[in-house]
Structure 1
Amino acid sequence: MGRYFFDLHEDDLTISDTVGEDLADRENAGHRASYILTQIAGDAPLTDGGKRLSATVRDEANRIVFTATLNIVGEWGELGTEPFG
């Protein structure tokens, strides 16, 4: 069991975690980071272009133990166009 901190990065914005979470190990911390990114992506506004979200996981000794990155690419289609296939 250890305490892990999740620093979140979206484009030029960084939010540093000062509270952290107690988790069994760094593998669980990596899964948690991936889950957090999918939750943020679900709330992100739809835009034409892209968005890059990342989470850096630190342990109690302030060492980076995991980094997850999620790239979202959005592109609006023309109304009335046929789908691929």
Structure 2
Amino acid sequence: MTTMKIECPCCDGEIDARHTEGLSDTMRRMYFVCDDCGYRTPAGFEILFSLSASAKPRAEIALEVRPSPMLRGAVNARTTAALARAA
């Protein structure tokens, strides 16, 4: 599993998610810690909508599907390269 990291608002270092707590099927509270300055904070993470329909949807979860234009940056570069190799 990949660790989620964000920029520390205090020292500009990286803060890592050390623990998560489920609040609902689409929302989690994440607890971040900065090893550089000792800053600790909770943050919210919520799935807002889907970019594509799920192949295995759960009946109790209703997420609106909002197709989007191509993603930008590294994510798009990786997915575009993978699609080109598969073709």
Q: Same fold (TM over 0.5)?
A: no
**Which protein has greater RCO, CA pairs closer than 8 Å, 6+ apart?**
1
> Greater share of strand residues, 1 or 2?
1
In the superposition, the TM-score normalised over structure 2's length comes to: 0.27
> Greater share of helix residues, 1 or 2?
1
